[in-house]
């Protein structure tokens, strides 16, 4: 199958490598000429996935129309806040009529749209049967090194999920399926917020007790918001929920946890972002999730605390103390 991967970051590159090794004809689209040139010249993404050789059946282009012409299936791996720019201009969405597997995780700023709702808005309800969403515990580098990984793919058309699973599934990458699109998308978005929270605690040199409490109570927040939006609570017990949450909150490769650690150590958000080349999706997602929770009347104290640290310059230690000082209640 001819597959175009839209987005040449670490995760898009790792997915391109995976499906190329599964025998597909792959084209990576990059908005950056430097990244595209690096892949062509070195057969590796020296900017975002250094040290990982890429198969010969991967091509690269900066021409979006060329990527569309190539594609029998699209894998979309752009940052969430760039989706509208990538697909919403030049009537691109209207020209696309092939399955799209979306690997972005987040909530759009201002509109508070989940990625699934953003794609439905851009492509229209009539094309939602073409939309699938990949999420779960999957660090790009570990995937690229062929370490065993399991993820979940959600879609509006359950009958087509098996054919999408087969594109990715192999001896080191196991793809499960679910019809709960909202649950998969919300779990993938909010785990980044909780990863910043656990990072803050780690940066303050708190221990495993603190980290465990944040992960557990963070999951409770995710479930509360998920139920309000129509997700199935059991989805959050699976790979796209608890699985991704634990990975992102504890793994050393987690960009969002790294942001939190540096916040806990006293760095400002501006300083942290100036040092990072890759996007930490949890930063804009925190603002969106905070506003969405307020709009829907859902209590999310950990999300609120992270928001205060990121956007109101509240000292990290004060935010933790306020969380611990809340009134007692039943679990």
Spatial separation of the C-alpha atoms in residues 64 and 73, rounded to whole Å:
14
Residue of 223, 135, 232 lying closest to 182 (CA atoms): 232
Among residues 17, 127, 191, 262, the one annotated as catalytic is 191
Strand ranges for 143-251 from DSSP E:
149-155, 173-178
User: And the tokens for 73?
Assistant: 């299936």
37 CB burial (10 A radius; 0-12, 13-18, 19+): middle
Spatial separation of the C-alpha atoms in residues 128 and 121, rounded to whole Å:
9
Residue of 52, 34, 36, 35 lying closest to 44 (CA atoms): 52
Please report where in the chains the tokens 């634990």 appear, as a residue.
Answer: 246
DSSP state of 327: P
For residue 60, the SS3 value is strand
For residue 90, the SS3 value is coil
CB atoms near residue 33 (< 10 Å): 9
Is 191 tagged catalytic?
Answer: yes
Q: What is the dihedral of CA 211, 212, 217, 220, to 10 degrees?
A: 120
What value does the CA radius of gyration of the chain take, rounded to a whole number of Å?
A: 19
DSSP state of 239: I
For residue 153, the SS3 value is strand
- Contact (CB, 8 A) for 168 and 175: yes
Residue 6 has phi, psi (to 5 degrees) of: -95, 105
Catalytic positions are 191
């Amino acid at each position: 199958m001819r597959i175009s991967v839209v987005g040449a970051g670490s995760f898009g590159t790792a997915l391109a490598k995976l499906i190329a090794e599964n025998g597909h004809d792959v084209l990576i689209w990059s908005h950056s000429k430097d990244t595209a040139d690096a892949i062509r010249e070195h057969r590796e993404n020296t900017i975002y996935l250094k040290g990982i050789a890429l198969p010969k059946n991967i091509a690269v282009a900066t021409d979006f129309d060329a990527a569309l012409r190539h594609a029998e299936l699209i894998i979309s791996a752009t940052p969430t806040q760039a989706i509208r720019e990538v697909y919403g201009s030049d009537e691109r969405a209207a020209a696309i009529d092939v399955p799209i597997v979306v690997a972005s995780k987040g909530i759009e700023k201002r509109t508070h749209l989940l990625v699934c709702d953003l794609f439905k808005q851009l492509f229209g309800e009539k094309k939602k049967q073409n939309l699938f969403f990949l999420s779960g515990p999957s660090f790009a580098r570990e995937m690229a090194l062929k370490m065993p990984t399991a993820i979940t793919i959600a879609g509006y058309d359950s009958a087509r999920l098996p054919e999408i699973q087969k594109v990715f599934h192999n001896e080191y990458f196991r793809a499960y399926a679910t019809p709960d699109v909202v649950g998969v998308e919300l779990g993938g978005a909010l785990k980044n917020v909780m990863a910043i929270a656990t990072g803050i605690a780690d940066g303050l040199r708190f221990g495993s007790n603190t980290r465990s409490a944040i992960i557990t109570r963070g999951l409770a927040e995710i479930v509360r918001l998920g139920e309000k939006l129509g997700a199935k609570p059991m989805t959050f017990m699976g790979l796209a929920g608890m699985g991704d949450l634990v990975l992102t909150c504890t793994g050393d490769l987690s960009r969002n946890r790294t942001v939190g650690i540096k916040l806990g150590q006293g760095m400002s958000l501006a300083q942290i972002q100036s040092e990072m080349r890759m996007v930490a999706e949890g930063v804009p997602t925190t603002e969106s999730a905070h506003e969405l929770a307020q709009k829907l009347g859902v209590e999310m104290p950990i999300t609120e605390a992270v928001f205060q640290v990121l956007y109101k310059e509240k000292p990290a230690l004060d935010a933790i103390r306020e969380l611990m000082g809340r009134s007692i209640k039943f679990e």
